[in-house]
Amino acid sequence: MLLLEDAIVPGDDASRCLRRATPFSGEASAVNPSQSQGRHHHGWSPSGGRIADMSFPDDIKLAMRDCILKVLWSKDDIVNLFRSNSCTSGDIAALGDFKALHRHAIVDQMFARLATKTDGGLGQFRALFQSLLDWSHFDPYYFDTLKKLNRADAERAIAHLRQLQEIRDHKIAKDREAREKRAAEARAPAALLPELRARFLDLLQGKVVGAKRGYALEELLQGLCKLAGLEATEPFRVNGEQVDGAVKYDGEHYLIEAKWQDKAAANEPVYQFAGKVEGKMYGRGIFISIHGFSPQVVTSLTTGKAIRTIFVDGGDLTLVLEGLLGFDQMLDRKIKAAQTKGLIYVDAMTGHQK
């Protein structure tokens, strides 16, 4: 009988082939996984863990294939298994005259078709996987009367599939623990409030200048977010746009633009940032200008337009760094003013328009 371990053809990992074989037909064909199984990504959790990159593992597919061929003999039954696990009528039709195909060819062709879907056939593979894990019906007609199938072989194939699940579950659990540990470390404040305040004073006193001052401000904002327990995203570039970062507040993500200029922020950089915000789903933004904003830019951004951006200045940050308001409290008051009064630039303590 063909063992799963016998089905791996040694060779270079990048070009390794899976030997497609069945103990019943005696036929085998070498198929390159990158051709027959669509996009080649790894990271799926068979037990429902987090999907890292939209794929279904090749070792699980191969074990499923072996299992299907050892629990079902009839071609109709094989096709019905696919049909009952969310394979569409189009998927079934793509097999053509499946009665003229070898049993293993039906499985191979369906697996190949599922892998070419935009989602890699992840849902169908997951449903098939669970059906085989739960398998308990061994048709007496094919197992006992015709003896086309062997019960011991079928049970070993199912057991092997369950073993693969256990191995992957263990790895997923370890990976999850590592992710949670990294996430906890990332959430932990990198600095206490007095240290952040000292850094801000250094910036105000000109001890850091030029581009380094902008980077220092970004790091300061990251520290304030972490200190408030807010999820912060570091600076990134998307579609040619540079974004100074983002913060998740009250379930919404806000893009951040931080400017340290020698005068109040004028129209052009604010308009550019507003454009970045507009181009995002439910886009919202926080524009931070240490030296404030000109009255013209505040008026131009709110008159006849949907409000998506709030303004924060150096005074607001000073209130936070002096411990008079938490960073999250400061954001909450400004967002409330924008949502209830249409004011995007207010004093965080009094709520009055600046």
CA 185-286-244 angle, 5° bins: 55
> pLDDT digits over 282-327, tens only?
678 999 988 888 888 888 877 767 788 999 999 999 999 999 999 9
Please, what sign has the CA dihedral across residues 173, 43, 231, 206? positive
Highest mean pLDDT among 13-27, 180-194, 225-239, 288-302: 288-302
pLDDT tens readout for residues 125-149: 999 999 999 999 999 999 999 999 9
- The phi, psi pair for 149, rounded to 5°, reads -125, 155
Which residues have CB under 8 Å from 116's CB, separation 6+?
Answer: 38
Longest dimension (CA), the chain: 91
Residue where the block lists tokens 């904003």:
293
Average pLDDT over residues 330-347: 93
Query: How many other C-beta atoms can be found within 10 angstroms of the C-beta atom of residue 6?
Result: 10
Which residue do the tokens 């008026």 mark?
A: 299
Q: Which pLDDT tens digit goes with each residue over 172-196?
A: 899 999 988 887 776 666 568 999 9
Mean pLDDT of 36-65: 61
**What local confidence, expressed as pLDDT, does residue 224 receive?**
92
Do the bridges between strand 252-259 and strand 285-289 make them parallel or antiparallel, or are there none, so unpaired? Answer: parallel
| Residue 24 binned pLDDT confidence (cut-offs 50, 70, 90) | very low
Distance CA 265, CA 91 (A): 58
pLDDT at position 282, please?
Answer: 67
User: Residue ranges of the domains in the chain?
Assistant: 4-183, 193-341
Q: Which two tokens stand for residue 335?
A: 């967002």
pLDDT of residue 188: 64
Q: What is the mean pLDDT of residues 97-120?
A: 95
DSSP character for 145?
I
The helix (H) or strand (E) run that includes residue 249 is strand 246-249
Was domain 193-341 assigned CATH 3.40.50.2000? no
Q: Is the pLDDT of residue 15 over 80?
A: no
pLDDT at 13 over 50: no
The percentage of the chain sitting over the pLDDT mark of 70, rounded to a whole number, equals 78
Sort strands 18-21 and 28-31 into parallel, antiparallel or unpaired: antiparallel
Report the pLDDT value the prediction gives residue 317, as an integer from 0 to 100: 94
What is the C-alpha separation between 210 and 139, in angstroms, rounded? 77
Whether 346 has a pLDDT exceeding 90, the answer reads yes
pLDDT in the model for residue 265: 59
The CA distance from 354 to 35, in Å, is 62
